[in-house]
Chain A
Amino acid sequence: MDILSATLLNLSLLGYVVGAAAGLLFLRHEKSANLFTFGGASLAALFGVIACTVPLATGTAATNQSIELFQSLIPYVQFTVRLDPLGAFFGLIVSLLGLALSLYSLGYARGFYGRKSVGVLGAFFNLLLLATTLVFLADNAFFFLIAWEIMALTAYCLVSFEHEQEETRNAGVLFFVMSHIGTGCLILGFLLLFRASGSYGFDTFHVLGDKMPSGQRNAAFLLFLVGFGVKAGIVPLHIWLPAAHPVAPSNVSALMSGVLIKTGIYGMARVFFDFLGTPPNWWGVTVLTIGTISAVLGVLYALMEHDLKRLLAYHSIENIGIILMGFGAALMFLHTGHPLLASMALIAGLYHTINHAVFKALLFLGAGAVLHATHTRNMEEMGGLAKRMRWTAFFFLVGAVAISALPPLNGFVSEWLTYQSLLQGFGTTPSLIRLMFPLSAAMLALTGALAAACFVKAFGITFLAQPRSEHARHAHEASFTMLLGQALLTTACVFLGLFPTVFLKLLDPVTQQLTGLKLSAQLSLANGLVLAGVDSQGGTVSTLGLTLMAVCLLPVPFGLWLFCARKSKTRIGPTWACGQPGLTPQMEYTATGFSKPIRMIFKALFRPRRDVQRDYDFSPYFARTIRFESHVEEVFQTRIYRPLNRLVLRLSRRMRALQAGSLQAYLIYIFVTLLLLLLFAL
């Protein structure tokens, strides 16, 4: 490893440790705690960004050797890290977000002064960043699992940070349980790999799958799919995500949604493309199907939400689905022997990974600023914030455009790449399975449209029109550092959108490591101004060109106005309010109302239920009060998890007979076991 990035990497890891220690040291001095923990984290993250970018840009990442962080006394367990291309790419994501979020937190954490311990928040925040970085860099399965567990535990502590509310505690426990189910699967999966290789080092796992018996290989695939899938939040393992993300402090939600769930994506990329060798066809089909279902269901449930942060959490499920569509297609292409297309699909997935990290974090930060100002997560009580929080509204709008995959921002680029790989996939195989590709592409199109609708709702109801509550009326702009964090991510969104070919060069070492191909040259035309699909029939697009065109066309309407309409008279009057004296917030479109058409179209899925109670004196048309309740059934909870829950509880009640509560009985259990074992050994 070159000296510079090795030093910076060590500094970065050290920075997080120091930041965490500072938080505990300054438990009683909130201001110093805030400054040192989040300041330390931002410095450490800055080092991390450079340490991860340099090896990717120069291409030295491929030859990086693993370094031992500290000596281990336990056999098989080695605390080694390696900055290989895939790890460096994900390290870049966590460091970039770490930087923006730490800056934001400097302002955001002030909201906790006198209420909660900022030192504890900062310490866990640093630990989470440290553990996540180590997850991406670990070069040994044991170390990976240790980092993975630390990550899950610190995340649990952060989710339960405001544990005074019952909702928060329940969400924390749900996250904890789901996370450990996943870890259990991962441990089994790694044990299978260990059986085949005889070592826990990641270097010995490389294309190990080709040497494994197919039964074990498939078992390992499924175990890893479930294990990483829980963390990534694929349907139907997603239920913890919309529960845990909203209740965490907003900087933590951003970190969880931006980076934490990406550890699942990292794990899948690492295991499916690096460890398990040439995939059988059904792997790709499974991943693509899961991806498609997650994308569509994620966005549909998001549309039904009027809790701003839950809405964003459901969108995370959608975007994980889009990423997995790329991965699934890549697996299918690898099976049919199309490495070029596989690389493009993989790039699409990875590109969407960083894009989603950036714009989702941005949106969560915006939501955090709104929450900070209005003290509510319910969109129906917001409104009119664009006038009171100009910058936040602008940043949120950029994020909303990006996540809706509208050109020229980054979401568009990666979804375009996904479309390209899916559409070109139709010709790769003669079997019927190829119908998957256009079907998924159609679902992706549906997802994009629904996402756009959802963010019209999210932005419109939150920021436009008149304030719907007193809190919204008295909202104030966020502090400077909070805006700085958002500005940084907004810049990243714009950069990733306008200059995709520049960024694709960073992905070259990654694809070379996983599929053996470099694609950035083939994907860019005209000196990198135009992005192209790999095939000759593939499309081309230039976000930069589109933007320039828009800028050039901007004077046209003004010109037209200048020449044709200058002389006509301008009248300024109040908005027409059906003859009523003035507009009030009660006349506004509500979030629930906005999403009603979609609720009706997908009635079979949502099973909407509504209760209307009218109190009236003589005619129902002149009601004194009307109570209206509307519910959407959460199918996965009611159809899968609740029956499962009941089953487990029933079984445990049976098991309770064993727990007699008598010491003698317990001793007898142990004694009888011992005797049986002794007799068995005879």
Chain B
Amino acid sequence: MNMNLPSTTELGSQLITLMAALMLVVQLLMVVQRMLLTNIRLFAIQSLFLGGIAVVVAFVHHASHVYVIAGLTLIGKVVLLPRLLTRLVHRIQIHQEIEPLLNAPASMLVCGGLTLLGYVVARPFTSLERLGNNTLAVAITLLLTGFFLMINRRKAITQVLALLTIENGVMLAAVALTSYGMPLVVELGIFFDVMVAVMVLGILVYRIRESFASMDTSKLNQLKG
């Protein structure tokens, strides 16, 4: 057992690094992907990796409550939310292509810059991490690119998706940085916050569509007096 433990930790650490990197890759794919439904699927995959990281953390640290978080992530973000969003897309019959403000190469460049910034910012904290390399950097990058995604998209539903990737980044930071995860209450709080936000935004999207016959949030400035 005593001999076994370091190798488990090491394996776990490598697994987490791998999955965090994959999350980042998926995020960059989302930045350039133009099909809405594919975007939703990509988000599901990203959440799947997040769930995987949580499982690994829980297993290595024998922290049973992190399993709960992993379970919630898998059920909520891999299955439930993508289905909800897919149904919404079908119901309001928007046409499938996303119209970003910046074109793909430019977006890629910006995201590269943001990733660099994320790594630079996270550098002083690397010693705090117990598992994986640079998970915090990935988390910050997810947050920043998620934000960029939100700005870069016009349609409300893609903005909801971007918000969800930001939340994935926050969750990743919570799991990676604190090693045992935050107190369960806090994580549950964040989780349900996002759930509620998505519900509300879903309804809002529907309403915007009804009132403006479009989902383009840049048309909201017509509300201004």
Asked if B121 contacts A678 (CB within 8 A), the reply is yes
Tell me if B147 and A671 are in contact (CB < 8 A). Answer: yes
Chain A residue nearest in CB terms to B224 = A661
* Residues in B neighbouring A681, C-beta threshold 8 A: 121
B120 touches A662 (CB 8 A): no
B217 touches A663 (CB 8 A): yes
Chain B residue contacts of A670, Cβ below 8 A: 147
Residues of B within 8 A of A638 (CB): none
Residues of A648-668 at the interface with B, using a CB-CB cut-off of 8 Å, are 659-664, 667-668
- Contact status A667-B224, CB under 8 Å: no
Q: How many B residues are at the interface, by size bracket?
A: 10 to 19
Q: Is B220 an interface residue (CB 8 A)?
A: yes
8 Å CB contact of B218 from A663, A668, A671, A675: A663
In angstroms, Cα B200 to Cα A493, docked, is 60
Give A680 Cβ to nearest chain B Cβ, in Å: 11
* CB interface residues, B 100-140, toward A, < 8 Å: 101, 117, 120-121
Assess whether B72 is interfacial by the CB under 8 Å rule: no
Q: How far is the CB of B156 from chain A (nearest CB, A)?
A: 8
CB–CB A667/B147 < 8 A:
yes
B2 within 8 A of A: no
Q: Evaluate whether A671 and B120 lie within 8 angstroms (CB atoms) in the complex, with A662-B221, A664-B101 already known.
A: no
The reply on B59 being an interface residue by CB < 8 A is: no
- Could you say which residues of chain A place their CB within 8 Å of the CB of B144? 674-675
| Residue from the set B147, B148, B151, B218 with the largest chain A CB neighbour count within 10 Å | B151
Q: Which residues of B contact A659 (CB under 8 A)?
A: 224
Most chain B CB atoms below 10 A, which of A662, A663, A678, A681:
A663
Given A668-B151, A671-B148, the answer on whether A660 and B221 have CB atoms closer than 8 Å is: yes
With known contacts A659-B224, A678-B121, A682-B121, A664–B147 Cβ distance under 8 A:
no
| Bound complex: CA A670 to CA B146 (Å) | 13
Chain B residue nearest to A656 (CB atoms) is B224
Q: Write the nearest CB–CB distance from A589 to chain B, whole angstroms.
A: 52
How many residues of chain A get a CB closer than 8 Å to chain B's CBs?
16
Contact yes or no, B151 A671, CB < 8 A: yes
B148: nearest residue on chain A (CB-CB)?
A671
A634–B221 Cα distance when bound, in Å, is 41
Cβ of A404 to closest chain B Cβ, rounded Å:
52
Q: Chain A residues with Cβ under 8 A from B217's Cβ?
A: 662-664
Digit string of B197-225 for contact with A (CB within 8 Å is 1, else 0)? 00000000000000000000110111110
Take A667-B151, A671-B147, A671-B151 as given contacts and tell me if A662 and B220 are in contact as well, using a CB distance cutoff of 8 Å. yes
With a cutoff of 8 Å between Cβ atoms, the chain B residues found around residue A664 in the complex are 101, 151, 154, 217-218
Docked pose: A659 CA to B151 CA in angstroms: 16
Contact residues in A for B224 (Cβ distance below 8 Å)? 659-661
Contact residues in B for A662 (Cβ distance below 8 Å):
217-218, 220-221
State A681–B221 Cα separation when bound (angstroms): 34
What chain A residues lie within 8 Å of B121 (beta carbons)?
678, 681-682
CA distance A681 to B124 in the complex (A): 11
Is the pair A682, B220 in contact by a Cβ cutoff of 8 Å? no
A671–B11 alpha-carbon span in the complex (Å): 36
Best-surrounded residue of A664, A675, A678, A681 (most CB of chain B within 10 A): A664
Contacting B147 at CB < 8 Å: which of A661, A663, A674, A682? A674
B150 close to A (CB within 8 Å): yes
Question: Majority SS of interface residues in chain B?
Answer: helix
Nearest-neighbor residue (CB-CB) of A665 within chain B: B221
Least CB distance from B181 to A in Å reads 23
Is there contact, CB below 8 Å, between A667 and B150? yes
Tell me the smallest distance from the CB of B178 to a CB of chain A, in Å.
Answer: 20
Complex formed: what's the CA distance from A660 to B101 in Å?
17
Residues of B with C-beta under 8 A to A679:
117
Q: Which of A667, A670, A671, A682 has the most chain B CB within a 10 Å cutoff?
A: A667
- Closest chain A residue to B140, Cβ basis: A678
Nearest residue (CB) in A for B220 is A663
Q: Please, how many angstroms separate the alpha-carbon atoms of A664 and B150 in the complex?
A: 8
Report how far A674 CA is from B151 CA in the complex, Å.
14
Output the least CB separation between B180 and chain A (Å). Answer: 24
CA distance A661 to B221 in the complex (A): 4
Bound-state CA distance A660–B225 (Å) is 11
Which partner residue on chain B sits nearest A670 by CB separation? B147
What residues of A have a CB within 8 angstroms of the CB of B148 in the complex?
671
Residue of A nearest to B118 (CB): A678
> In the complex, how many angstroms separate the beta carbon of A659 from the nearest chain B beta carbon?
7
A610 CB to nearest B CB, Å: 41
Residue pair A675, B221 in contact (C-beta under 8 Å)? no
Which residue of chain B lies nearest to A663 when distances are taken between CB atoms in the complex?
B217
Q: Would you call A661 and B220 a contact (CB within 8 A)?
A: yes
Q: Closest B residue to A667 by CB, please name it.
A: B151
Interface centre among A659, A674, A678, A679 (most CB of B within 10 A): A678
Residues of chain A with a CB closer than 8 A to B101's CB: 664
The chain A residue sitting closest to B147, CB to CB, is: A671
B2 to chain A, nearest CB (A): 41
Question: How many angstroms from the CA of A657 to the CA of B217 in the assembled complex?
Answer: 19
- Which chain B residues lie closer than 8 Å to A667 at the CB level? 147, 150-151
Q: CA of A667 to CA of B217 in the docked complex: distance in angstroms?
A: 12
Most chain A Cβ neighbours within 10 Å, of B101, B120, B121, B221: B221
A100 and B101 CA atoms in complex are apart in Å by 69
Chain A residues with CB under 8 A of B150: 667
Assembled-state Cα–Cα distance A660/B92 (Å): 28
Report the Cα distance A561→B117, complex, angstroms. 105
Q: Which residues of A contact B117 (CB under 8 A)?
A: 675, 678-679
Instruction: Determine the residue in chain A with the shortest Cβ distance to B156.
Output: A663
Nearest-neighbor residue (CB-CB) of B120 within chain A: A682
Cβ–Cβ < 8 Å partners of B223 in chain A: 661
A475 to B111, CA, bound (A): 80
Q: How far is the CA of A681 from the CA of B101 in the complex (A)?
A: 30
Q: Chain A residues near B218 (CB, 8 Å)?
A: 662-664
**Inside 8 A of A678's CB, which chain B residues have their CB?**
117, 121
For B101, the closest partner residue in chain A by CB is A664
Complex alpha-carbon distance, A670 and B151, angstroms: 10
Q: What 0/1 pattern do residues 140 to 166 of B give for CB contact below 8 A with A?
A: 000010011011001000010000000
| Interface CB pairs A-B, < 8 A, 22 | A659-B224, A660-B224, A661-B220, A661-B221, A661-B222, A662-B217, A662-B218, A662-B221, A663-B159, A663-B220, A664-B151, A664-B154, A667-B147, A670-B147, A671-B147, A671-B148, A675-B144, A678-B121, A679-B117, A681-B121, A682-B120, A682-B121
Residues of chain B whose beta carbon lies under 8 Å from any beta carbon of chain A: 101, 117, 120-121, 144, 147-148, 150-151, 154, 159, 217-218, 220-224
Chain A interface (Cβ < 8 Å from any Cβ of B): 659-664, 667-668, 670-671, 674-675, 678-679, 681-682
Interface contacts beyond A660-B224, A664-B218, A671-B148: sample of 19 additional A-B pairs, CB < 8 Å, sorted by A: A660-B221, A661-B220, A661-B223, A662-B217, A662-B218, A662-B220, A662-B221, A663-B217, A663-B220, A664-B101, A664-B151, A664-B154, A668-B151, A671-B151, A674-B144, A674-B147, A675-B117, A675-B144, A678-B121
Closest 8 pairs between A and B when the two form their complex, measured CB to CB: A661-B221, A661-B224, A663-B217, A667-B151, A662-B221, A671-B147, A678-B121, A667-B150
